[in-house]
Amino acid sequence: MDTKQMLYFTTIIDEGTINAAAKKLHMTQPPLSMQIKLLEEELNTKLIIRGSRKVTLTDAGQIFYNRAKNILELTEDLKKEIVDTKSGTRGTIRIGIVSSINNYVLQKIIMPFAKKYPDINFILTEENTYTLVDMVNSKHLDIAIVRTPFTESKDFQVLELENNNLYAVGNERFFAETTQSSTYTKETSTCSANGMLADYENIDKILASQPLIIYKRWKKILDVYFSEQNIIPNYYCITDDARTCFLWAQNNMGIAIVPQSIISDQVDYSDEMICKKINKPFISSTICAIVNKKKYSSSSVSLLLKDLEKIKNKTNNTKIN
């Protein structure tokens, strides 16, 4: 028994059939079938049951599959660790991000890191938070930068990087009851009464009477918020992408509820766009970095984690002050 046989066996199970596994392994079916037969003879037990459509595991096969997967992961980690000792600050980081914070990740994390370590490369995956959490859990990503809310695993290390206020955004006609001007302008980069982002005392009255465009993952949070304010919301559109919320609001379809970073990233906007912070009660979404503590972190990943720790500590100090 060797790791090659383990790879053959686990690939068959992952692909579902010997034929599909043979294609993935770039080999013909007969030699692959022979390897499984030799493995079963060595262990003196049947590991798989060959069906007309797919193979299924026996009880012994399930045990072997689980152990083989672990051994293959450890073997791969060992190879990476040995390479790390030779490469120093070279390597590749597999990082996942949600699209709504693409600019934040690039400006605040990747660019400063790239200046210090120009020989470290990235494989970038853009997905929703749920998918990225699953990919970290299954060790397909080194790091993921996501937004709350998400379900934390006991195997995760979670670093809170930045807290984003949620804002109501829409054409000025949806904010007819507004008593002070707070138009979105590129000349202003701060949150102030005469700037692009201002608090608004009566935002609840506006939200209660207008069509709302929301991000699907925040619906439960918003349901609680509206329930506490005795508001029955009119969810005109529920979408999978927070950027789509802003796009619909730009085109006068209703009021979007989005994080501050979405607004800050926009380069094409209408002078009639109004942005109001929802702060009574306060609602926010936190940008977090997550890693799997059970996954081996290469020297490249460890260097990036140190930078993320600094961002986290800076955020915590800001909260205290």
**CATH number of the domain within which 147 lies:** 3.40.190.10
Whether residue 141 is predicted with pLDDT greater than 50 in this model: the reply is yes
Specify whether 195 is located in the same domain as 242.
Answer: yes
pLDDT digits (tens, 9 = 90+) for 149-181: 888 888 999 999 998 888 888 888 887 654 444
Tell me the residue range of the domain where 255 lies: 165-284
Q: Quick one: pLDDT at residue 85? A: 64
Q: Which tokens go with 304?
A: 């990036």
pLDDT digits (tens, 9 = 90+) for 195-246: 344 445 567 778 888 999 998 888 988 898 888 888 899 999 999 888 899 8
Q: Quick one: pLDDT at residue 114? A: 95
What is the C-alpha to C-alpha distance for residues 213 and 244, in angstroms, rounded to an integer?
A: 9
Question: CA-based Rg of the chain, rounded to a whole angstrom?
Answer: 25
Closest to 191 in 3D by CA, of 167, 170, 212? 167
Q: Which tokens go with 302?
A: 């460890």
Least confident of 17-31, 34-48, 236-250, 279-293: 279-293
Specify whether 99 is located in the same domain as 71.
Answer: no
Number of structural domains in the chain: 3
Least confident of 176-190, 241-255, 258-272, 286-300: 176-190
- Cis preceding-peptide flag for 281 (omega within 30 of 0): yes
CB 203 within 8 A of CB 280: yes
* Average pLDDT over the chain, rounded to an integer: 83
Specify whether 44 is located in the same domain as 186.
Answer: no
CB 263 within 8 A of CB 246: yes
- Select from 22, 51, 85 the last residue of a domain: 85
Q: Quick one: pLDDT at residue 266? A: 61
Closest to 300 in 3D by CA, of 4, 5, 85? 85
Q: 206-215: b or e for each residue (b if 16 or more CB lie within 10 Å)?
A: bbeebebbbb
Determine whether 145 is exposed, middle or buried from the number of CB atoms within 10 Å of its CB (0-12, 13-18, 19+): buried
